[in-house]
Amino acid sequence: MAAGREYDAVVGFDEFSLISAWQAATSLGLPGLDWRLVANMRDKSAQKATLRKGGVACARSWLIDDIRRQRGEALRLRQHLPLVLKPYSGAGTVHTFVAHSDPQLLRAVDRLAASPSRTVLIETYVAGVEHHADGVVSDGQVCAFSLGEYLGNLVQIADGITPASVALSPATIPHAHQQAKDLVSRALALLGLRNGVFHVELFRTADAWVFSEAAMRVGGGGIPLHHDVMGGVNLHESMARVQVGQAPQAGPSVAEAASPVTGWTFLPGPPGIVRSFPGREEILNEKGVLGVEFNIRPGQKLGLGTADTVARVGSAVLIAATRPEFLDRQRSLVDWFRSRVEVEGPA
């Protein structure tokens, strides 16, 4: 930091920088995050314990401090199958596994034991459709809220799904939409979030909404692009504004713009050194495409798309008159784009 320069606050823009931002703000005597909020957002085990204590429905979980030394303890959880196993401090579904049987549990434990992630969180599997809620909290109030349905639960990434989402409008599902907003608002209040953005994942089961986990960051994938294109809201800017005491950006909500049907999709490609892919204008000429952004440039390496929810060439925002038309446009765009990405060698 430049000597003699004044700063208003220290803000962490992703999950991995929250602790560093809190430490820096504390050292510099600047406004920053409460350490209890940081702990609740980074420690998913503590997060779920806090929420369960507050009466929020969420998966049961167990923390394994060292999967290599406590392999037997992890395997004894077979009585609670199906289970989800993931790194304690991970992100992007890296090294995340679903086990429906004893052989799958054994394989997941062995793979995690061989990975760098020694501390593991094991949770009961929630049978439901995965959704994401995103928005802004200012002075303890949720002042912006959007709800989207993933087109395939993200733990299925290893099965080859392409991450994508369709926005859900309160006009089409008013009761369920309000229930989701109430659940998210209650959870964020229990966790102590008063000023910042949020990305929450939750499941819609046959009976109710079930909380999955919350992060105090802008959602990944095409979420920020979708908010920008459909609502004119820059979530990253809003995050910084509310954390220094300013009002968040004003604009029409994504929920209000979710009709007819809008959403986003990854623009995938095969693994390897990327040589070329369709340009922005060419993509915008495809049916229903309203916006596009790229995450890599030609000459950079693209990872395996089935390994995590990070690897992609870019993202696109789509619009359609109906949900079936949206799904058809999303599939067609993904197939067309993937076929046009040229790579050299495997990643």
Question: What average pLDDT does the structure give for the chain?
Answer: 88
**Where a domain ends, among 82, 109, 124?**
124
For the chain, what is the domain count?
A: 2
Position 166 in a domain? no
- Where does a domain end: 100, 124, 148? 124
Higher pLDDT, 231 or 99: 99
Q: Which two tokens mark 249?
A: 């950006």
Last residue of a domain, one of 95, 124, 153: 124
234 touches 13 (CB < 8 A): no
Q: What is the pLDDT of residue 157?
A: 75
DSSP helix/strand/coil, 163? coil
Q: How far apart are CA 47 and CA 43, in angstroms?
A: 6
166-175, 201-210, 252-261 — which one is most confidently predicted on average?
201-210
- Considering the domain boundaries, does residue 82 fall inside one? yes
153 falls within a domain: no
Flag whether 40 is in a domain.
no
Give the CATH number of the domain where residue 280 resides.
3.90.1170
* Angle value at C-alpha 31, between 27 and 37, nearest 5 degrees: 90
Q: Is the pLDDT of residue 226 over 80?
A: yes
Per-residue pLDDT of 290-313, as tens digits, reads 999 999 999 999 987 655 667 899
The confidence score (pLDDT) of residue 90 equals 62
- With a cut of 80, say whether residue 251 has pLDDT above it: no
Q: For position 189, what pLDDT does the model report? A: 96
d(CA 249, CA 230): 14
Give the pTM: 0.89
Whether residue 290 is contained in a domain is answered as yes
Residue 332's domain comprises 260-347
Tell me, what CATH number does 83's domain have? 3.30.1490.20
- How far apart are the two ends of the chain, measured CA to CA in Å? 36
Query: For 137-151, how does the pLDDT look when each residue is reduced to its tens digit (9 = 90+)?
Result: 999 999 889 999 999
Give the pLDDT confidence score for residue 347 in this predicted structure: 45
Per the model's pLDDT, the better-predicted residue between 33 and 187 turns out to be 187
The verdict on residue 38 lying in a domain is no
Average pLDDT rounded to a whole number, residues 311-333: 95
Residue 138 lies in a domain: no
Q: What tens digit of pLDDT does each residue of 45-61 get?
A: 889 999 999 999 999 99
